[in-house]
Amino acid sequence: MQLDEVLLYLAAVTQVDTTRFTPLLFAGEALGSVNAEWKQRLLTHEPNLFALTADGLSCRIDGDYAEISSTLNQAAQRWRQAEWLNGWRDENFLARHQDGSAFFELERAAFRPLGLTSHAVHLNGLTRTAAGEVCMWLGRRSPFKAVDPNRMDNMVGGGVAAGESIALARARESWEEAGLPPELVQQAEEGALILAKRPVARGLHCEWLHVYDLWLDPLLEPHNQDGEVAEHVCVPLATVESLIVQQRFMIDAALVAADCLARLGYWGPDGFQVRAVLAQNAL
């Protein structure tokens, strides 16, 4: 087993130097963070929308959900035209107040630059061999994906769009990525809630990962429907551990897989160390 190596990797990909980011406030609530580059961009090119205050960078926009969403998405279109955004999806994520209620929605490509918190669903596909060994289904991302092409992923993983419930996003992603019917996906068990937070080239990645475990019949194989997964493979837990250490996973998938191994007791009582590292960002 390679628990020490896994812990070193997890520590490296979950650390955030907050001094590199300026809090981004909406209606007085610190909901995002911007790096120095985006701070300068917003102050220089969007002075009507953002201003520097004692608490950080504050958004000047007033109005209701629709008005704030419309104004921010118009700004995002300007940032896209300036080639400041990549991975444009024509899909909005939902930004929430600190109490969890809906605030506004914004093109998902603008979430990382503003350091806003998004939500995603991840599904661990688990099965047992005839000999009783636990194995995990993994997906290898398409080589044509804009983010992390060819890297290993959980059997199912994807963002929760604005207007979607967690359950609806889980069912949609499970069909698109693995061809799993809704009645089967409903049997998934809640596994964990992990806050993935780290600096990225675009800004700050901050996303709640809603993790589920689904035990599959050994004869059932996932089949991708949308072209985003090149293949699915079913591997022993020791192989999953090795893929984490080799940094073959996309990072969020590595967090989810490591958490699952810990919950399955793969590292025995020492597995609590994995979950302790993963919980640090949520403190």
* Per-residue pLDDT reduced to its tens digit, 65-83: 999 999 999 999 999 999 9
> What is the separation of C-alpha 215 from the centre of its chain, rounded to a whole number of angstroms?
22
CA–CA distance from 89 to each of 5, 86, 108, 159 (Å)? 35, 9, 7, 11
Whether 146 has a pLDDT exceeding 70, the answer reads no
Q: Percent of the chain at pLDDT above 90?
A: 90
Whether 270 has a pLDDT exceeding 80, the answer reads yes
pTM of the model as a whole: 0.95
Whether 282 has a pLDDT exceeding 90, the answer reads no
* Per-residue pLDDT reduced to its tens digit, 92-101: 999 999 999 9
Tokens of 252: 């969020």
Q: How far apart are CA 113 and CA 120, in angstroms?
A: 18
pLDDT band at 280 (very low <50, low <70, confident <90, very high): confident
Domains identified in the chain and CATH numbers: 3-14+118-282 (3.90.79.10), 22-114 (3.30.750.160)
Average pLDDT over residues 243-258: 97
* Per-residue pLDDT reduced to its tens digit, 171-224: 999 999 999 999 999 999 999 999 999 999 999 999 999 999 999 999 999 999
Average pLDDT over residues 122-134: 95
Among 136, 142, 178, which Cα is nearest to 157's?
178
